[in-house]
Chain A
């Protein structure tokens, strides 16, 4: 099969990828770039384990063809921490025990990250809406909401507001 060439930026690093036309963004991230933090839970867009942020929006990477990611900016869970410092969302997920088995956590984090990009001060209902596509069988939803609220509070205090 003829491969196609795709250009995208992943966690700020420009990448050129040779990919089969049917290849998904999830396969590019996991198999071609070795970024296995993004998980596959169903391969059908049902579970949200593979959520990444594409041009500022949360997407299920298993439903995005690699070709559709041409020219986009992708952020994955590996791109949240900067210079070894955890992003506040990551810190509060750990502090609030917003995780149990951790398999949904990368997708959950990225849905929350996209939410805060677009709505820096969400209320609990908006947080629940934002993570409603992220299944967590361990049932950590309540702690996830608390972790996001703590992140919002921290960010507001950091900005002096």
Chain B
């Protein structure tokens, strides 16, 4: 066992003192001289042709400085997360969802900006639109785009011989599963502040996950070279995928460019829910073949995702659904399909999990129904089929490190007392039923093959031995900066307190890619290690020269210089000064791009990822069969981390993920009626509070991942994923009635109980 002195140990969160004292600046807190208030006019209609858009009166209002429409954009009028770049920044002619923006205004005050929006004259020809994903797939449906078709993508991942697989089955089971449209509800709504500095650079403070992509997009729409745009992330109040694509930062920059003054745009909560991408609602038809011994022979699963009217990350997310649908199991024959379908509903794209929560929900609910059908313990069916290192999965990838699946499964079973459940009280009162459920997941880390997935980090040692880490990786609260600082301290050999982190500023930090796909620990972590290595070597080389001791026995640890285990009377600062005198460089960049050394068989899934993490959760629920209320009493979460860099931060990621998963299971659903979102605030879109969260038991397993920094892999998204299916399986266990849809609202539970009783009248009544 390697003895680490910084990683795996306690560290304060980077900039936590700023947070607890209220000094931390988020976009809404930034004030600049002469700053204007920016606002956007949103269509609020889901599908219409714009027949008139007149801003001339609005421009004349007192206090109104700038009003922009699509005609006033010097560069490209589109977001460009994915190609084709189909979503206009300001729509010229057609609105395709409620959140389409028509005009942008900058004014001296909030009131003047609102008055300008109210004065803009818009006339529409309302169009029928299409709001049901299955209807959108039919011939003759309203076309969201006249020239693209509503089915924007249909991916088929074929593996083995699906017909043979079903022939080998003793039993075939098919069900349809439904997941809801879900909102990120980050506590800080989207915001940006933009101004042009004296030298002509457009500076944009942006609450975002992808500062370098923001820079490219802003430059592209303003008609500037990228080096004339500088994007800085201040503190970010949560993101969860919802700030991956640009939101208002391009508009703020356009308004600042046109007005010549600083402009701040902060979305209201209602605007936030109305506009940004959501987690796809998905319909999944899942057909499995199984032997009497509980061995999977085949899976054919089809997922249909309503992606709204613009591409965004929709196709990529739905492809991840398909690539994940077979679950953390060995499935010899599979056909996994995803359809990405345009409608006039809210846009769907990245949200914590990126399609994997939907796929895992269907797969894990199905696994329990399979177990039931052959009278097998849900633990046993998972153990019999669970993935292992070296197994081939439907995407064509062979699992590099797969021990985590069964290790987590067995640990979760052990910690939850899985085998002892039947002894406990299943019916604590006449109206109450208790049940237990488990779910296991696999989760890919990184973007996947053939997608840019790289990062640079820069380290600099000063002459007093302290270190500055420059990283372009956005920290939205997930703790990337703290974990990277710990890895830098460990790799150079200084104390964590000696490392200062400079976060994303595209004039000062290199591209680290977006903070998505649970990738920064792995990718930026490796970049940090590569930057640290030459600095450590320069210091040790210098120490060897000073002491005359051989390099091999010298060590740097926590800022101490050691020869084997003996402490030398040398400080890092002395080494740094001496190294500099010897013309040794004490700063370095590290660059890392995700490695895929294993060849893929022909016709494999093009974006197949190769790094997987695993986890299992066990839920205990209490169901009130009279009210339909489900209470989560206890949840055990066991998650593979590869290596825990920061124990408190890692625990926070798992607990936070579980709580978000609890919301997904029990309460969260954005309600949209014919394209109009009904619950546009946090009083009607409910997320878990402190009162909803039970005792959580969290355990992190450490199975080192090849190629990963210290073996560590991502933790940001995976812990959310097993929670909803574990809870659903527990509810099914409690009431003895199969369920196929989340959230498990009281209405749905009661309806399922009533339907079951109608079909199965109690004997003797």
Contact = CB atoms under 8 A, between A and B. Distances in A.
A43 B188 contact: no
A144 B689 CA distance: 12
A41 B660 CA distance: 18
A138 interface: yes
A41 B237 CA distance: 10
Interface stretch (B167-175, B367-375, B462-470, B679-687): B679-687
Contacts of B185: 135, 137
A41 B236 contact: no
A86 B21 contact: yes
Contacts of A40: 28
B659 A102 contact: no
Interface of B: 12-13, 16-26, 28-29, 31, 184-189, 235-240, 268-269, 476-479, 648-649, 651-652, 655-660, 681-683, 687-691, 693, 696
Interface stretch (A2-10, A30-38, A66-74): A30-38
Interface string A8-51: 00000000000000000000001000111111111111110100
B237 A132 contact: no
Nearest to A76: B22
Contacts of B696: 142
Contacts of B31: 34
A45 B688 CA distance: 16
A15 to B, nearest CB: 17
Nearest to A96: B648
B487 to A, nearest CB: 18
Contacts of B687: 135, 137
B21 A138 contact: no
A94 interface: yes
The 9 lowest CB-CB distance pairs between A and B, nearest first, are: A37-B22, A101-B477, A103-B237, A139-B656, A139-B659, A102-B19, A77-B22, A36-B29, A100-B477
A46 B21 contact: no
A151 interface: no
Given A94-B16, A96-B648, A101 B689 contact: no
A144 B682 CA distance: 21
A11 B268 CA distance: 28
Nearest to A87: B20
Given A41-B187, A102-B235, A139 B655 contact: yes
Contact of A102 (B240, B477, B688): B477
A35 B683 contact: no
17 contacts: A30-B29, A39-B237, A41-B188, A42-B683, A76-B22, A77-B22, A86-B17, A97-B652, A101-B237, A102-B16, A102-B18, A102-B235, A105-B19, A106-B22, A131-B689, A140-B655, A144-B690
A143 B650 CA distance: 12
A154 B478 CA distance: 28
Contacts of A141: 655, 659, 689-690, 693
A54 interface: no
B392 to A, nearest CB: 36
B187 A47 contact: yes
Contact of B22 (A36, A43, A46): A36
Contacts of A36: 22, 25, 28-29
A98 to B, nearest CB: 9
Contacts of A37: 21-23
A134 B682 CA distance: 11
A58 to B, nearest CB: 14
Contacts of B28: 36, 39-40
A135 B22 CA distance: 17
Chain A, interface size: which category? 35 or more
A145 interface: yes
A97 B187 CA distance: 18
B691 A136 contact: no
A135 B689 contact: yes
Interface SS of A by simple majority: loop
Contacts of A94: 12-13, 16-17, 19-20
A65 interface: no
A109 interface: yes
A24 to B, nearest CB: 12
B652 A138 contact: yes
A144 B280 CA distance: 31
Q: Most chain-B Cβ atoms within 10 A of its Cβ — which of A34, A36, A102, A143? A: A102
Contact of B690 (A39, A132, A137): A132
B17 A139 contact: no
A61 interface: no
A114 interface: no
A101 B236 contact: yes
Nearest to A49: B187
A134 B690 CA distance: 8
A137 B16 contact: no
Nearest to A147: B20
Contacts of B240: 137
B658 A139 contact: yes
Given A101-B476, A102-B477, A103-B187, A135 B21 contact: no
A40 B655 CA distance: 25
B372 to A, nearest CB: 32
Contact of B187 (A45, A101, A128): A101
A138 B13 contact: no
A78 interface: yes
A91 B652 CA distance: 17
B20 A105 contact: yes
A42 B271 CA distance: 10
Contacts of A35: 22
A45 B683 CA distance: 8
Nearest to A94: B16
Given A42-B681, A43-B269, A101-B476, A137 B187 contact: yes
Contact of B19 (A38, A99, A131, A135): A99
A136 B681 contact: no
A117 interface: no
B16 A99 contact: yes
B688 A100 contact: no
Nearest to B689: A132
A39 B188 contact: yes
Interface in A102-139: 102-106, 109, 127-129, 131-139
A129 to B, nearest CB: 7
Given A101-B476, A102-B235, A142 B693 contact: yes
A100 B29 CA distance: 18
A38 B63 CA distance: 28
Contact of B688 (A30, A80, A139): A139
Contacts of A41: 187-189, 269, 682
A45 B237 CA distance: 18
B658 A103 contact: no
Contacts of B691: 128-129, 132
Contact of B682 (A80, A105, A135): A135
Given A39-B28, A41-B187, A46-B682, A99 B269 contact: no
Given A93-B16, A102-B18, 9 more contacts: A42-B683, A80-B21, A94-B16, A101-B235, A103-B187, A139-B659, A140-B655, A142-B655, A143-B648
Contacts of B656: 100, 138-140
